[in-house]
């Protein structure tokens, strides 16, 4: 089959309307237009990448693939006017994040669109997010010995494997994402953490207040991919929402689900506790797109996909 490869590069955030479209789109209405939401995402957030069907013309799409920050994108063809994929902006990204989208058409034409997504400048805190000083049990404050370091590495690899496998799972989430707890947020995503006086890491989740035994609800539909008792995360549940997206719920006292269970938004999957490296009972909520850790609160802004159309019931032959 004849193959024509065309390429376009988008450097500016396109919040539509047509007047803001770059020259390539005005010269040819058959080249796809790629936009994203939010227009200037924060580092460490989920972004929605949109390919607008209206500009694609009659030459139908046979496949669409893409990469953002090295992770594959999964476009959902269920929307009528556009195709949408989620992606993750790494917390350490500065200036812009690069997306590349490849659209194969029935005619053999291949369109490649490269986009440089501008990131929001963190002007408020030029020195970075504030540090948090935490006091934990001495065994968590010390440098781990080699056996413990090996255990932590092994557990981290298990969690990353869940994230990688999620790229093979079809999208399972529906509707909006919901908070796992209605309570106060006690620690935000991305802040520097000092444990017993030593800076160890950035806070990789969002902490919600809660007394031991209070409910933890899953944010959206998915499959329980891992139930674990980890050194740092304590008793934890990892839920694969499909199409690259995983959420996890740490430090639980009780777990109500098993690996392989399908869970729906709002279902109680466990109870708040203080297992693992903690200062007291709370929920630590994690979100990952592939291997990219993102602020789970940014999931709450994702537009729901269109509802699944029910097939009309087959008409019984009249007798």
Residue span binding Zn ion (CB under 5 A) among the ranges 16-24, 29-37, 239-247, 281-289: 281-289
Provide, rounded to whole angstroms, the least separation between the CB of residue 6 and Zn ion. Answer: 46
How many residues bind Zn ion, per CB under 5 A? 3
Residue 277 lies near Zn ion (rule: CB under 5 A)? no
Q: Which of 205, 210, 215, 273 binds Zn ion (CB under 5 A)?
A: 205
Provide, rounded to whole angstroms, the least separation between the CB of residue 278 and Zn ion. Answer: 8
Long-range contacts of 66-70 (CB under 8 A, 24+ apart): 66/99, 66/100, 66/101, 66/102, 67/99, 67/100, 68/97, 68/98, 68/99, 68/100, 68/117, 69/93, 69/97, 69/98, 69/292
Cα–Cα nearest to 117, from 225, 39, 205: 39
Residue 171 lies near Zn ion (rule: CB under 5 A)? no
Question: Sign of dihedral through CA atoms 265, 269, 272, 275?
Answer: negative
Q: Cβ distance 235 to 228 under 8 Å?
A: yes
Q: Which of 25, 207, 249, 281 binds Zn ion (CB under 5 A)?
A: 207
Q: Cβ distance 189 to 203 under 8 Å?
A: yes
Residue 42 lies near Zn ion (rule: CB under 5 A)? no
Q: Cβ distance 193 to 203 under 8 Å?
A: yes
The pairing of strands 45-52 and 33-37 is: antiparallel
Residue 43 lies near Zn ion (rule: CB under 5 A)? no
Residue 284 lies near Zn ion (rule: CB under 5 A)? yes
Provide, rounded to whole angstroms, the least separation between the CB of residue 207 and Zn ion. Answer: 4
Of the pair 217, 284, the CB lying nearest Zn ion is at: 284
Residue 215 lies near Zn ion (rule: CB under 5 A)? no
Q: What are phi and psi of 189, to 5 degrees?
A: -75, 140
- What is residue 275's DSSP assignment? -
Provide, rounded to whole angstroms, the least separation between the CB of residue 55 and Zn ion. Answer: 43
Of the pair 155, 207, the CB lying nearest Zn ion is at: 207
Of the pair 205, 242, the CB lying nearest Zn ion is at: 205
Provide, rounded to whole angstroms, the least separation between the CB of residue 11 and Zn ion. Answer: 36
Token reading at 250: 């740490």
Provide, rounded to whole angstroms, the least separation between the CB of residue 312 and Zn ion. Answer: 48
Which residues contact Zn ion (rule: CB under 5 A)? 205, 207, 284
């Amino acid at each position: 089959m004849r193959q024509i490869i065309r390429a376009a590069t988008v450097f500016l955030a396109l919040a539509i309307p047509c007047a803001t479209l770059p020259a390539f789109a005005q010269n040819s209405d058959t080249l796809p237009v790629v936009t994203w939401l939010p227009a200037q995402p924060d580092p460490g957030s989920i972004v929605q990448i949109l390919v607008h069907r209206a500009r694609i013309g009659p030459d139908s799409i046979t496949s669409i693939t893409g990469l953002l920050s090295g992770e594959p994108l999964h476009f959902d063809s269920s929307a009528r006017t556009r195709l949408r994929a989620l992606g993750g902006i790494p917390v350490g990204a500065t200036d812009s994040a690069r997306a590349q989208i490849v659209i194969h058409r029935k005619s053999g034409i291949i369109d490649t669109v490269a986009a440089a997504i501008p990131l929001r400048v963190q002007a408020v805190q030029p020195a970075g997010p504030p540090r948090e000083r935490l006091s934990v049990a001495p065994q968590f404050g010390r440098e781990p010995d080699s056996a413990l370091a090996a255990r932590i590495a092994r557990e981290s690899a298990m969690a990353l494997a869940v994230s990688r496998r999620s790229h093979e799972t079809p999208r399972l989430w529906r509707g909006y994402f919901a908070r796992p707890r209605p309570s106060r947020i006690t620690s935000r995503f991305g802040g520097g953490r000092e444990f017993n006086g030593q800076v160890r890491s950035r806070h990789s989740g969002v902490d919600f207040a809660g007394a031991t035994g209070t409910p933890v609800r899953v944010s959206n539909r998915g499959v329980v991919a891992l139930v674990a008792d980890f050194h740092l995360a304590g008793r934890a549940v990892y839920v694969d929402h499909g199409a690259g997206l995983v959420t996890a719920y740490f430090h639980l006292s009780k777990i109500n689900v098993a690996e392989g269970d399908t869970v729906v938004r709002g279902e109680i999957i466990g109870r708040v506790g203080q297992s693992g490296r903690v200062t007291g009972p709370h929920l630590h909520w994690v979100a990952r797109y592939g291997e990219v850790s993102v602020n789970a609160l940014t999931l709450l802004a994702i537009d729901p996909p269109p509802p699944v159309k029910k097939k009309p019931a087959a008409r019984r032959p009249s007798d």
